[in-house]
Amino acid sequence: MLNAKIEKAINGQINAELWSAYLYLSMAAYCHKIGQPGMAKWFETQFKEEQDHAKIFYNYIVARGGVVTLKAIDKVPTTWKSTLDVFESTLAHEEKVTSLINDLYALAEEEKDYATVSMLKWFIDEQTEEEENAQTIIDNLKMIKDNGYGLYMLDKELGARTYTVPSPLAGKE
């Protein structure tokens, strides 16, 4: 059985993950608009991934006999200044998510809920990867600057991203 504090915090995280999904879908639409279909596909993949993150937390509440409470998802920005701006916003957002996961982890430890601590370990590693991915793209964009050919190649590379269902969800989608 989940204690009330942990249940509330995980329900909050479900909302944060769904907001992230919504944000990335909006970023995908922006990339389509500015003629970067590969980047758009990269964000569409992020959109799927964030929904899966929400589903992992949802499955966890169900497995622990808790109550899932889905709240309204706030609106998201619809435009950015440039490709660099959209990926810098991605990194800033992922850093915020990392701090939310860290807060959850600290709460689970404080409440001596070691099952939740264990479940969150996957997310701790995932956040390192999320931040690293965004940072790599930012570095590439800074190197490319306004070079059209460079942007074209990066767009192609990002468009080749394929999606793998996160391991905690494999077989439980």
Residue whose CB is nearest to ligand FEO in the complex, by number: 53
CA dihedral angle for residue 161, residue 167, residue 168, residue 173, rounded to 10 degrees: 60
Q: Scanning residues 51 to 80, which ones bind ligand FEO (CB under 6 A)?
A: 53
**Site residues (CB under 6 A) for ligand FEO, limited to 132-171:** none
130 near ligand FEO, judged by CB under 6 A: yes
Those residues whose C-beta lies under 8 Å from the C-beta of residue 79, and which sit 6 or more positions away, are 30
**Is position 7 an interface residue for ligand FEO (rule: CB under 6 A)?**
no
Answer for which of 10, 43, 44, 50 binds ligand FEO (CB under 6 A) is 50
Instruction: Give me the least distance between CB of 23 and ligand FEO, in Å please.
Output: 9
* 97 makes contact with ligand FEO (CB under 6 A): yes
Interface positions with ligand FEO (CB under 6 A): 17, 20, 50, 53, 94, 97, 130
